[in-house]
Structure 1
Amino acid sequence: MTIKTFDAFTRLSIIDINRITNFLFEYSDEARDTKSAIRKSLLYAAKEIPGLGGYVFVVERNNDIVGAAVVNKTGMNEYIPENLLVYIAVKTSFREKGIAKMLIEHTIKYCDGDISTHINKHNPAIKLFEKQGFKPRNIEMRLVRN
């Protein structure tokens, strides 16, 4: 299996955006974000909405998505990493087969600058991130205004 990389130069089609949005909504354990929020992160990465862009990494098997990651560029450095790994997910039947590791390694190789991600402190995937060099640093606190 190989990783397809999408950015501002290798555009995502509307069909791909919908497929990846649905995949991340179904298989992302970390956050139960809305489909709208997931879609915005994809549109931002592909520079379909104003911003610095980012990357979308997709692993497929027989035209079926089995893993995906979304990275948004922040435009910052030192105090906030240049890249935010917003979403990473692997289809349930493909977990424990190295796909998440492959996506994280590809993200590290592909992105310039530091990378951060938000992960629940009880998520067993923390060990995978730590093996790839990630270190816990902050606890996020968020005020959500509706």
Structure 2
Amino acid sequence: MTIKTFDAFSRLSIIDINRITNFLFEYSGESRDTKSAIRKSILYAAKEIPGLGGYVFVMEHQNAILGAIVVNRTGMNEYIPENILVYLAVKTEFREKGIGKALIKHTKKYCNGDISIHVNKDNPVIKLFEKQGFKSRNIEMRLVRN
């Protein structure tokens, strides 16, 4: 199993963008965003749309995606972390086998600066992040305008 790293310098093909989008959509859990939102975060990370970019980390085995993380750079520090981990997903049959842990460790090693993540307060994945050093700090409140 290998972790592939994609950013502004190691471009993602349209096929890879679609594969990762579909994977994240299928395996991202209860707080599933639209495919459009997931794709946009990947395009932002790869600097295919204007922004600061970020990273896409994909763990594969025999050309099958087992897990993926999308991190977007914020361009800020101190008051807002430099990076936001937007998506983490692991294929259902590979959960609790160390793939999420390996992806988070790779993310921590690769990304400079602080990393934040938004997690539903009832999501059991919180324990995985706590074991990797993440601490609950703030409550997000959001005004959604349609």
Q: Which category describes the TM-score, using the shorter chain as reference length?
A: over 0.9
Q: What is the deviation of 1:30?
A: 5.0
Q: CA RMSD in A?
A: 0.7
Where do residues 120-139 of structure 1 align in structure 2 (5 Å cutoff)?
120-139=120-139
Cα deviations by residue, 1:74-103 (Å, 9 ceiling, x for unpaired):
000000000000000000011110000000
Aligned-partner residue type, residue 17 of structure 1 = I
Q: What is the deviation of 1:2?
A: 1.2
Where do residues 51-62 of structure 1 align in structure 2 (5 Å cutoff)?
51-62=51-62
Q: Which residue of 2 aligns with 1:111?
A: 111
Taking structure 1 as reference, are residues 108 and 30 closer, same or farther at Cα in structure 2, changes over 3 Å only? farther
Q: Which residue of 2 aligns with 1:65?
A: 65
Q: Which residue of 1 aligns with 2:31?
A: 31
- Alignment gaps of 5+ in structure 2: none
How far apart in 1 are the matches of 2:22 and 2:144? 24
The answer as to whether partners of 1:30 and 1:119 remain within 8 angstroms in 2 is: no
Q: What SS does structure 1 have at the residue aligned with 2:65?
A: strand
Q: TM-score, normalised by structure 1?
A: 0.98
Q: TM-score, normalised by structure 2?
A: 0.98
Aligned-partner residue type, residue 77 of structure 2 = N
Consecutive aligned runs of 4 or more in structure 1 exceeding 4 Å deviation: none
Q: Which residue of 1 aligns with 2:7?
A: 7
Q: What is the deviation of 1:57?
A: 0.2
How far apart in 2 are the matches of 1:92 and 1:128? 15
- Alignment gaps of 5+ in structure 1: none
How far apart in 2 are the matches of 1:79 and 1:98? 31
